[in-house]
Structure formats: C-alpha cells, structure tokens
Amino acid sequence: MRGKKFLMLVIGIIFFNISLIVLGNEEEETQEIKKGIEYYEMKNYDSAEKIWKPLADKGNKVAQYNMGLLYKVQEKYDLSEKYYKLSANQGYLASQERLGYYYYKQKKEYKESEKYYKMAADQRSNYGYCGLGYLYNTLDQQDLAEKYYLIAADRGDHLAQNNLAIIYEEQGRYRLAYKYYKMSEKQGYTFAKDNLKVFKKKLLNLSWKERILFYK
C-alpha cells in the first residue's frame, strides 16, 4: 500500500515538472512573439520572420497567425493563406475571421468563407455572425442572413444592427427596421444615422395600410 502511494507521488511530481516545462516553453515563446511584433511594427519584416517562422513551424498558433499577417503585407498570398489555415484549424479566432473574409472578398470562394465564418461563429464571434450575414445576403438567402445578423445585433454589434434594419426595410417590416436603425445610430454608427434619416422621410410617405403595419 505504501509503495502504491509512493508511486502515485512520484508520478505526480513528474507531471508537475512536465507542466512547469510546458509553461516555461510557452512563456519563452510568448516573449519571442512579442519581440517579433516589435520588428514587425518597425517594418523589419526579415527579422520578424526569423523569430516567428520557427515557432509557427513548430505549431504555435499565434506565430502562425502572425506569419499569415506578415506574408499578407508582403503580398505572398499563398503563404499567408497557408499559415492562417494552420492557425485557424487550431481554433485561433483571429485567423478564422480573416480567412472567412479572405475567401468571401478576395477569392469569392463562398463555401470556404462559410466554413471559416462558421468556425468563428462557433466561438461566439460577432465578426463571424456578421460575416455569415454578409455571405448569405450575397447568396440571396435572406432567412439565413437575417438569422445571423440578428444574433450579432442582439449582442450589440452596430454593423449587424444596421444591416438587419436594411433587410427589414426591404421586407416592409418597418417597425423592426426603425428599431435596429435606432440601436445602431445610438452607438454612433454614421451609416445608420444617414439611413435612419432617409427612412424617416420614407415613413412620412407611407400609405395608411403601411402605417397601420408600422404601428401594429
């Protein structure tokens, strides 16, 4: 019995030491990444790459994201995509968001865009929800666009609130359109303020039937 306790204690010490080593390595890598950021901000991209690339190739998801950013600035888009993917597939949110936008805006590969925006949305990212809203709106899938804009809008995202209001206005759901324009405007979003101004003028020209729907 005493032998078993001793064995468990030894195993516990071993795991504790391993944890310390892992934490120590993570701390060192974090410091290296920060040093790379300093070079990056000075536009000393070669020095930043020398620090980040070995870490990225070892599997550090933050370094992989930074390499994606670095190669994008240098217009090495294939390499940028490669490192963003490595990072995104390890669950790094910023990489998922950037890939969602990249495939939507740059490459028009909507299935890939959907994949990465959904990964971001699964982490409760407003950017991910909004991205899916943009994407489904582009694909003329209004029910899905509304669904994802609504999630982000009700979580306080001013872009989603404005875009959702536009959808409601187009659908003739004026009361909801007014509600979300107003929510976005209150956050200081200029486009929502302008849209609301035009929308209020439109309300003055509603037929009596449309006015009943608005005040219902």
Domains contained in the chain, CATH given: 25-90 (1.25.40.10)
pLDDT along the chain (216 residues), means of 10: 43 38 64 93 96 96 95 96 98 97 96 98 97 97 97 97 96 93 96 95 78 60
pLDDT at 135: 97
- Predicted TM-score of the model (pTM): 0.82
Q: What gap in Å lies between CA 214 and CA 209, rounded to an integer? A: 9
pLDDT at 203: 86
pLDDT at 66: 96
Assign residue 39 a region (left: φ > 0; alpha: ψ between -120 and 50; beta: otherwise).
alpha
pLDDT at 198: 94
DSSP sequence for 49-111: HHHHHHHHHTT-HHHHHHHHHHHHHTT-HHHHHHHHHHHHTTT-HHHHHHHHHIIIIIS--HH
pLDDT at 150: 98
pLDDT at 27: 82
Q: What gap in Å lies between CA 113 and CA 98, rounded to an integer? A: 10
